[in-house]
Structure formats: structure tokens, C-alpha cells
Amino acid sequence: MNEQTTKLYDEGYCLCRDVFDTGLIERLRSVTDRLLDAVPTEERERMRYQGSSIPVKYQDPAFSELVGWPGSLDALALLGFEDPKFWAGYILSKPAHGPPLYWHQDWIFWDDPVSADPDPGQLFLMIYLVDTNVFNGCLRVIPGTHRRRIDLHGGLDAAHTEDAQQADESSNMFTKHPDEVNMEVKAGDLVIGDARVLHAAHGNQSDHRRTCITLWYNPFFDRFPDAIKATLVECVDHVEVPDDVTPPELGERLRRLKPHYAGDAQPREWVREPADYLPV
């Protein structure tokens, strides 16, 4: 294993510098600002801890470029993931003086034995559109929590549920942990993390919006049980690759990234709370 692969497997995350060029970042900043400005006030309040959660559905050619960006796909290949499948993407933007994001894990199949696999079942790729640090809301990660349970797990609501969205900032959902690591990045860097790792984000104390786009990829989709494949494909069926993507090779790349399942297994319920497959 190379150093980055070892870090991802042992600690649950890694950082790749200078993956995206400034032109793409500027285009993404422009289109996300437009989409964020259109979010209704009540939705902003409901999503106050995340800041926003706008699905990426190829609303703009810049998103096609991002999902199929050769630099990020090369980074995945260097980690050993040569045939990833794209699942979903979200614009997560903290407004000026927005609150922190609570501790959580994003894996949704905790009751399945695949949860104990050393290989990651799902990866988040975080692309920050501005330089991001503790002051304006950078990511916080607790290394190793993708493979082991810690005391903090017992005091957390399931990720992104109504209970989590309504949690008080004085609760354990927002506590400072002695093992946490701050992921300070430059615009154009790439953070890759295992969906099982505990992570959160600082509040944005600055006077400016802090925007991140999170893309989700399944590095070993074909290994999943049929019911998990059916669940993931059901979630992405509404995100069709546009016919007019240019250049044509980008459109073909995006179609190769889309997961497919032709069996008759029924989609299953999401399980967000860690089970015995996350040992102490």
C-alpha cells in the first residue's frame, strides 16, 4: 500500500492536494452561489447545521466535469479503486456565521456484515470551493472510528434524522473530542473519507459563505449483496447522465461511473446506527 492508501484504511480518511484546477473551482463557485441564493429561508433553517444539502443532478456542465474529473478518479485509482461507481452528490454550504455540524457517520447499512469489511463500502469526496480552516468551518475527523466504536458513539443521534437536526449545540453531538483532527484545506484540494468514519465540521465564524461539494462513490459496487445494490441504484435512478455532455468522452466516462443492477432483489431500509459490526 502507498502512504495515502494506508492512511485511508487505518484512519478512515486522507487528503490529496491540488486535484482540481482553478478554472473548474471558479465555475463551481459561480453555479453553487446561484443555487444557494435560491434556497428558501425555511429550508435554510431546517438544514442549519449542514448549511445546505442541494443534490447534484447535473444542473450545470460544471457538475458533469466534477463528477468525472480525471484528477479525482486518478486519486481513487491510486488508492486501489479502479472501477468506482458514483452514487450521489450534495452542495453543503455554511453561510456566514453558520453553526457547526454535529458528529455523525454516513454509512447506511450498519446491520449488514459488509460493514466489517476492511475495504470501504462507500467513500465521500469533499471538494472545498474556498480555502477552509477552523475559523470558517473545516471538517473534523476522529481517526480510526470507521473500524472501532468509541464512547462518543453512545451519545449520538442517527445521522441526518430529525433528532439530529434538532439537537442542541450543548449536547454530545457537538462536543470537542481529544482525538479529533482538523482538516484544513485549500480550494482545489480533495478530502477522501470512509463513510463509516465519525466526522463533523466547525462553525463558520467568517463573514463569507463556505461551500463544499461532497460526492459519494462506491469503490467496490459489484461486491455488494444484491439488496444493497438494489437500494443504491434506486437512489440514483433519477440522476441520468445528460445526452448532450461534452466532450463525448466525458459523457461516456459518466455513464461508466453509474451503477447498474438488473436483478430482482428488493431495496432495503437504511440503517444509520452502528451495530455489532463496529466493535469496541
Summarize pLDDT for 164-178 with one digit per residue, the tens: 888 899 999 999 999
Domains and CATH numbers, the chain: 3-257 (2.60.120.620)
For residues 75 and 190, the answer to whether their CB atoms sit within 8 Å is: yes
For residues 164 and 275, the answer to whether their CB atoms sit within 8 Å is: no
How far, in Å, CA of 31 to CA of 20, rounded? Answer: 16
Work out the mean pLDDT of the chain and round it to a whole number: 94
Summarize pLDDT for 61-108 with one digit per residue, the tens: 999 999 999 999 999 999 999 999 999 999 999 999 999 999 999 999
pLDDT for 264: 96
pLDDT for 64: 96
The residue whose grid cell reads 466525458 is 250
Give the C-alpha distances (Å, rounded to integers) separating 175 from 13, 88, 95, 103, 148. 20, 29, 21, 8, 19
Summarize pLDDT for 179-194 with one digit per residue, the tens: 999 999 999 999 999 9
pLDDT for 24: 98
Residue 157: pLDDT band (50, 70, 90) is: confident
Summarize pLDDT for 218-247 with one digit per residue, the tens: 999 999 999 999 999 988 756 788 889 999
Segment 43-68 shows an average pLDDT of 94
Segment 13-40 shows an average pLDDT of 97
Query: Distance between the two ends of the chain, CA-based, in angstroms?
Result: 26
Q: State the pTM of this model.
A: 0.96
Q: By percentage, how much of the chain surpasses pLDDT 70?
A: 99
